[in-house]
Each structure stands twice: as C-alpha cells, then as structure tokens.
C-alpha cells in the first residue's frame, strides 16, 4: 500500500500506473494557481487532477519550493494533501 510517510514518493506511485490523467497513462494534469520567485528560490502552488486505475477521480493540491541554478532545479521540497493521497491508496493498488 502506498501512503504518505510510508516510504513512497507521489511520483513513484504515478509511474507505477495508479494515477492517469483523463483516463490515459501518464501524469496528473496540473493547474498552476500561484508562482512566487525570490532570488534563486521559486514556489509554485498548483492543483492536480487525474483518474485512478479504479476509474475514480483523484484530485490534490501541491506546493513545490525549489532552488534554481542555471535554469535547473538543484534542490526542492514538495507538500501535498496527505489525506487525499492516503484516500487514493485505500482504494487502489499500483499496477
């Protein structure tokens, strides 16, 4: 079972085939709500929507804080709604 805080990263769960945007294999569809930059730090607030492999929708909100150098992310941290994430993994298993 994939749960927040249990050693699985959200992207790993997507790659294992449990979340599909619009019913097609791949990543979540995202909608950026807010971007803030200060020096080499960028914060992005966004919402993701996809369809789980059980055919039910999966929605979550995210905040990514990244440190940039030469146009590339060199460090970062991500936050998301763990209740929504854990609810997904109570319904589905990775393929």
pLDDT at residue 14, as a whole number? 45
The conformation of residue 2, written as its DSSP 8-state character, comes to -
Express each pLDDT in 3-61 by its tens digit: 444 433 444 444 444 455 444 444 578 899 999 999 999 999 999 998 888 888 889 99
pLDDT at residue 90, as a whole number? 87
pLDDT at residue 27, as a whole number? 59
Range list of β-strands (E), 10-56: 19-20, 29-38, 41-52
Look at residues 11, 19, 15 and name the one whose alpha carbon lies nearest to residue 89.
Answer: 19
pLDDT at residue 8, as a whole number? 38
Q: Give yes or no for residue 68 having a pLDDT over 90.
A: yes
Determine the average pLDDT of the residues in 57-84.
Answer: 93
Q: What is the CA radius of gyration of the chain?
A: 14
What does the alpha-carbon distance between residue 49 and residue 78 come to, in Å, rounded to a whole number? 17
Look at residues 94, 83, 95 and name the one whose alpha carbon lies nearest to residue 8.
Answer: 94
């Amino acid at each position: 079972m994939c749960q927040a805080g249990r050693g699985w990263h959200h992207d790993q769960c997507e790659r294992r085939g449990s979340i599909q945007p619009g019913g097609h294999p791949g990543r979540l569809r995202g909608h950026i709500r807010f971007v803030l930059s200060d020096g080499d730090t960028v914060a992005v607030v966004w919402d993701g929507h996809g369809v789980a492999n059980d055919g039910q929708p999966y929605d979550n909100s995210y905040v990514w804080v990244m440190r940039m150098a030469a146009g590339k992310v060199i460090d970062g941290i991500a936050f998301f709604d763990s209740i929504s994430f854990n609810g997904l993994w109570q319904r589905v298993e990775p393929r």
